[in-house]
A and B are shown apart, each in its own frame.
Chain A
Amino acid sequence: MAGIGFALRRLARRDDLLGVLQGYAHSAFITSGPWMFTILALAGITLFGRDLVGVEELTLFRVVVIYNFCFSVVFTGPLVLVATRYLADAIYAKEVEAAPGMLLATLGLAYAIAALTAGPFYPLFSGLPMPVMLGGLVNFFLVCGIWVVSIFLSALKDYLAVTVAFGVGMATGMAGAVLLGDRFGAAGMVWGFSAGLAAIQFGLIARVLAEYPYPVGRMFAFLGYFRKYADLALIGLFANAAVWTDKWIMWFAPERELVSGAMAIYSAYDGAMFIAYLTTLPALTLFTVNIETRFFEHYQGFYRDIQKHATYDQIARNHSAIIAALLDSSRNLIILQGAVCAVCIFLAPAIVGVLGLQYQQIGMFRFGVLGAFFQVLFLFCTVILAYFDLRARNLTAQLVYLVTNGGFTLLFSGMGFPWYGYGYFLASLLAFAVAYLMVADAVRRLPYFAFVANNPSVR
């Protein structure tokens, strides 16, 4: 991920204001990742669609998009992480000829996953009218495809093209949803939105194929990585499930709406949580542009100097430098995000009012903001764990988050809506504490981990 950060920081360091703005705008977009992407898409369409179609039609559309985004990201999670690892290794070994073949293979697998999951679900359990159902199905395939093509984003240095693809795609999607929704209701919105997603997916595929003009070959070479990195596949599954598990459980709360067939949502909760998560944008940006890159430089220096035959005292100095950089950065980060968080909690009634939400959502929103604060810190901890390739620890952290988020949400969902969101907050806090202790411990003992505990050459 640091690759993106470096290019963005170059942009942000340009001496004019436009450069700075550009840099942070890109980073806000790229760092937010799938999660933020979902929220922005939903927010946009809800905003425009509210007056065009009836509430019922809009809800139908929303449930399709939410289901598609959350289940696709969970089901493709293992594939995405394992394929990312393979691609990163191939780039490191300067063997990128495999990229086009791998792109087609991962796309094929993503579609296979879609066919096996959404394929039976939509016709059998969704109970949606035929045009909406078919649109939802196509939409699911497209979203799965986007997650997979996104793997190749970090390999592409052309962030502008990426941003353009997403920008044009989302604009097309919104316009399509609004225009078609006006004439065909929910089915029109789903198909129109899908047109935008198709633009993103095929635009990115074209970009990747243009960047790697090699013949297609060794398509399934990366499948061997599933055995080698089974823990990584599980991390991909658990991490995405953990983020969504509180929403899933709240879909069974008494206040939920059964939209169609087996498809239920609880829009008050979902909406509060989505908006709460938007408060992490400043922290995400700061982390990607500044902290991760700074950490990465020290991280690289540490390992490079070892390979260049540094003395132990030099290694110890580099070790201290990593710790100092991390402490320094996390202080800045916590101050920034803490301030954002505090402001949002104090101004919660006002924010809820401005956004036209219901007053019963204020409590959920406040817990959501607090939870998002710790969730984003948790995310940073797992990024550091990923850098040190401490997969067992990362897996443990994700599992803790999944279990606590599920468990606590279940526990508090029975206690009435004043408690809604409390489970998510508590789980985020606890998962962050666990991840933080694991990162702190690993960083403190870094030389031991580098030479012995996490060294594949030491048997």
Chain B
Amino acid sequence: MSRSLPEAPRAPKADVCLLMEGSYPYVAGGVSTWTHDLIRSHADLTFHIVALVADRSARKLAYDLPPNVTGLTHVHLQDPPAGWRWQPGTGRLLRDLERPLARLQQGGGLAEVAEVLRLLAPRRGRIGKRALLNSEDAFRMVVRMCRAALPDASFLEYFWGSRALMSGLFATLLVPMPQAAVYHAISTGYAGLFAARARLETGRPALLTEHGIYTNERRIEILMAEWLFEGADTSLALDKKKRDLRDLWLDTFASYSKACYDACDRIITLYGGNQEFQRRQGADPAKLMIVPNGIDYAGYSQVQRDSTPRPPTIALIGRVVPIKDVKTYIRAAAILREDIPDLKAMILGPLEEDPGYVEECRTIVKHLGLEQTVIFAGRVRLTDWLGKVDAIALTSVSEAQPLVILEAGASGVPTVATDVGSCSELLMGRPDEVPPLGPGGAVTPLASPLDTARELRALLLDRPWRERCAQAIARRVAQSYDKVAIDRIYRAIYDEHIAMPTRPTHDQQDFQLSGAA
């Protein structure tokens, strides 16, 4: 770490407080890179980062923090502040907490978070893990909650489950609040819970940008979790299954999301598909907003088309890993070669991540006799290649908002992509696009080499169609996905909310939850 940053409450007041759960600045990846870019793009704003991490173990920064980051506060989700062991009124406090906590485990929302905060507020600094989790009053509360909500569940499982959930809740609600003009959560979950708390406690606006839908990701994780004990009788149940421990986890995260949606002034996501989930989770449609990820349009649009004669060329851009379904791409290339014998099908992307999968892909290439057609080029500079490619194929089984479609599009290359994430929105345009720009390629079903080959053939052999698509996607990128423009959108959002007057906080007389919602 190049410099040590002050934690709340010693940190200076920042313009924006970013709430990051399990990502920036310790874990590299899509969301972290996006956040790093966001901070650097707004160099004249100051940022405070709240990093929600599991425990107090030492971590290494994955990014050099830009100079406009003025503070870094940690929330240790599995290890809330200890607090005092003994203090009067703990029993009463826990009895009062029981109702809102129980409701948060069964789909509560902002009202319950506000109630918990109101109860904890007068004891801030003194109350903590010892009283709230480890005291006998706390244990009795857990027993009462289990008997009320899940009397047939394994108490051992309930105990550890609710303890983990409450640890995270209390850690998030008890850490000192950094001062900022705007609080911006980059996911729901505990980051979203923190945003709700910030809105209630400081009266400052809260924003949410959801890249993936947190509750969905949690749902997959929990449904696949082997550590969760299932009651022995569940397989025999004919009627609707009783509420079980999985529901405890799912409902609790749904509550946190709901609280976050209700507290935030704007709920931003990358594309329309995600909005549907947000609406279903109870987000107010009036607050919803789509801000996609942008790319360097100016740079990519400078890529020169290579006009020298060469065979028709397609490319898959990405890591050679199962989620990208490179095998479907190779099979599509085999079908395509029947009509276009001199076809070149490039695979542009690193080969190190899953050597086993790369080997399987090479075997298929050999088996189909495609050695002269399919070329593994490894990691390349995209701008060197985009001028020599006629169409991009994207056969992934899962994507959010793939930037390659935009980068290729900016340089005038259309794409054939599977119908995942925002691919269809990127290629066909959002329903509210004015004026409609037309298709920038084609969308195909998952794992369908035939469809992929057919659409690629159309692009390669039908020159006017290819040029129409290329123009459409280039214009769409310029209009909606230029990073300069996207930065301006975020800037406008920040400016608007930084300038907003401070609203009543939850402990003030004229505070109303509906006003927060």
Complex CA gap A9/B332 in Å reads: 78
Q: Which residues does chain B contribute within 8 Å of A447, judged by CB atoms?
A: 139, 143
Interface contact B136-A311, CB-CB below 8 Å: no
Nearest-neighbour CB distance to chain B for A310, whole angstroms, equals: 6
Which 3 A-B residue pairings sit nearest by Cβ, starting from the closest? A309-B154, A312-B155, A448-B139
A-B contact pairs, 18 of them (CB 8 A): A306-B155, A306-B156, A309-B155, A309-B156, A309-B229, A310-B154, A310-B155, A310-B156, A311-B152, A312-B143, A312-B146, A312-B151, A312-B155, A313-B147, A313-B151, A452-B138, A453-B134, A458-B163
- A387 to B477 CA separation, bound complex (whole angstroms): 71
Tell me which of B79, B155, B229 contacts A311 (CB under 8 A). Answer: B155
Please, which residues of chain A bring their CB within 8 A of the CB of B163?
458
A331 to B78, alpha carbons, bound, how many Å?
46
Smallest CB separation, B9 vs chain A (Å): 26
Which residue from A310, A312, A451, A459 sits with its C-beta under 8 Å from B147?
A312
Centre residue among A313, A447, A452, A453 by max chain B CB count within 10 A: A452
Q: Which residues from B are CB-within-8-Å of A311?
A: 151-155
A307 touches which of B134, B146, B151, B156 (Cβ 8 Å)? B156
Residues 307-322 of A contacting B (Cβ, < 8 Å): 307, 309-313, 315
Contact flags A425-459 to B (C-beta < 8 A → 1, else 0): 00000000000000000000101100111000011
* Additional 15 contacts, C-beta under 8 A, given A311-B152, A313-B147: A306-B156, A307-B156, A309-B157, A310-B155, A310-B156, A312-B143, A312-B151, A313-B151, A447-B139, A448-B136, A451-B159, A453-B134, A458-B134, A458-B163, A459-B79
- 1/0 per residue, CB under 8 A from A, across B253-293: the answer is 00000000000000000000000000000000000000000
A182 to chain B, nearest CB (A): 66
Chain A contacts for B79, CB-based, 8 A: 459
Nearest CB of chain A from residue B483's CB, rounded to whole Å: 45
Q: Chain A's nearest CB lies how many Å from the CB of B308?
A: 67
Task: Give the residues in chain A near B156, CB-CB below 8 Å.
Answer: 306-307, 309-310
Interface residues of B (CB under 8 A from A): 79, 133-134, 136, 138-140, 143, 146-147, 151-159, 163, 229, 231
Q: Chain A's nearest CB lies how many Å from the CB of B61?
A: 26
Tell me, in angstroms, the Cα distance from A307 to B133 when the chains sit together. 21
Question: Closest approach, in angstroms, between the C-beta of B503 and any C-beta of chain A?
Answer: 39
- What's the Cα separation between A445 and B140 when bound, in Å? 10
Most chain B Cβ neighbours within 10 Å, of A306, A309, A453, A458: A309
State the CA gap A311–B448 with chains docked (Å).
49
Docked CA distance A44–B60 (Å): 72
Instruction: Identify which of residues 41-81 in chain A touch chain B, using a CB-to-CB cut-off of 8 Å.
Output: none
B143 cross-chain contacts in A, Cβ below 8 A = 312, 447
Chain A residue with the shortest CB-CB distance to B138: A452
Cβ–Cβ < 8 Å partners of A458 in chain B: 134, 163
**Interface flags, A309-353, vs B, CB<8A=1, else 0:** 111110100000000000000000000000000000000000000
* Contact assessment for B151 and A451 in the assembled complex, using a CB-CB cutoff below 8 Å: no
User: How far is A312 from B158 in the complex, measured between Cα atoms in Å?
Assistant: 10
Q: How far is the CB of B117 from chain A (nearest CB, A)?
A: 25
Is B155 touching A445 in the complex (CB atoms < 8 A)?
Answer: no
Q: Which residues of B contact A453 (CB under 8 A)?
A: 134, 136
Q: How far, in angstroms, from A147 to B310 measured CA to CA in the complex? A: 92
Q: Are B139 and A452 in contact (CB under 8 A)?
A: yes
- On chain B, the residues within 8 Å of A310 by CB distance are 154-156
- List the A side residues contacting B134 at CB < 8 Å: 452-453, 458
CA distance A307 to B152 in the complex (A): 15
| B155 / chain A contacts, CB cutoff of 8 Å | 306, 309-312, 315
Task: Kindly report which residue of chain B lies nearest to residue A312, judged by CB atoms.
Answer: B155
Set of chain A residues within 8 Å of B229, measured between Cβ atoms: 309
Docked pose: A458 CA to B164 CA in angstroms = 11
Nearest chain B CB to A354 CB, angstrom units: 54
Find chain A residues with CB under 8 A from B147 CB. Answer: 312-313
Instruction: Report whether B154 and A445 are in contact in the complex, using a CB–CB cutoff of 8 Å.
Output: no
User: Which of B133, B136, B140, B229 gathers most chain A CB within 10 Å?
Assistant: B136
Closest A residue to B146 using CB positions: A312
In the bound assembly, the distance between CA atoms of A448 and B163 in angstroms comes to: 14
Q: A120 CB to closest chain B CB, in angstroms?
A: 46
Nearest chain A residue, comparing its CB with the CB of B156: A306
Give the chain B neighbours of A448 by CB distance below 8 A: 136, 139-140
Q: Is A445's CB under 8 angstroms from B146's CB?
A: no
CB distance from B130 to the nearest CB of A (A): 11
| A-side contacts of B152, CB under 8 Å | 311
- In whole angstroms, what is the CA distance A459 to B164 when docked? 12
Give bound CA distance, A451 to B135, whole Å.
11
B153: chain A residues at CB < 8 Å are 311
In the assembled complex, the Cα of A448 lies from the Cα of B134 at a distance in Å of 9
Q: Which of B134, B229, B231 has the most CB of A within 10 A?
A: B134
Which of chain B's residues has its CB closest to A451's CB? B159
Chain B residue at minimum C-beta to C-beta distance from A307: B156
CB distance from B354 to the nearest CB of A (A): 36
Determine the chain A residues whose CB is within 8 A of the CB of B231 once the complex forms: 309
Within 8 A of B (CB), among A291-312: 306-307, 309-312
